Structure 1
Amino acid sequence: MSGARLTHGAGESNVATGMPVLDHLLALLARAGRFDLTLEIEPDEPAAEVDAAGAALGLAVAPLLRPGAHGAGTMPADEALAMVVLEASGVPLVAANADLTGASGLGTDMAARFLRALADAARLTLHVRLIEGEDTDHVLAAIFKALGVALADATSRP
């Protein structure tokens, strides 16, 4: 059974996507955003697992967002620095300046796939900016941590 549960909490996570790197990144997202996250994806091809994980998180976060809610987060991971700004606009869109093709061994940009699926499911406009960073592991970590902070910001505002 695939699905996710997301609540404000202590940053605890129990994630099983079938991709250890994505599990790690989602744990970083939960910790940075202080969310308790449970997410499990049925085994499939790697690209389908990434899509399913993004969609599951989007469906879990959507009820926490009021229309027009917005949030921003800027986070480091070693030499990398990333910023994510989002709005619950009802118009799914991802605008990013980072191309991480091949970073996960998929031959595609896993982060972009995940973010597109998240934006589609939660109907978010996401802007992702890589400010600094060369090491792809650090860049991915910074992006997912910044996303966690931005989601926390958007879901905690009255």
Structure 2
Amino acid sequence: MSEISTKPYMLRAIYEWCTDSGYTPYLAVKVDSATTVPMEYVKKGEIVLNISYGATSGLKMDNDAIHFHARFGGVSREIYIPVNNVMAIYANENGQGMAFEPLLGAAPAPAPAPKAEEPAPPSLSAVPSGPALAPAPASRSEDDNGPDDGGDGGAPKGGRPTLTRIK
């Protein structure tokens, strides 16, 4: 019997902590062929999504994937993110959360040995390491409740949040 990953449980726990604390949970995601996101918002193969209750509809976080509907530019879109593609989950207001190594193309069962032509795993470039590198939400109209809409009209007071990586 293979061991069950703790990652989906940690994602749900950080999401619950964010919502209970009044923070806005954000996901940093590595985009590949297994993800369903609006490609016009993908930058450098990554996307940052607001997954708060007010920005999503029908949010479901199970052990294999996160899926929900969200509005982008006023248009409702279906979003599907394999848990393996999640690079980080954090509170937008203070950057507290958790970072992960994305396991692109990995199945829940043990994956086969990597081929020689496959590149090394990507770095966590979407994870903020300082105020200048925090992900910037895509611009939105006032009536848009899209995943990058933090609800406060911009960055929180005191500058942009940072994600502290704890090992």
TM-score w.r.t. the length of structure 1 is 0.28
Higher relative contact order (CA 8 A, sep 6+): 1
Q: Which has the larger radius of gyration?
A: 2
TM-score w.r.t. the length of structure 2 is 0.27
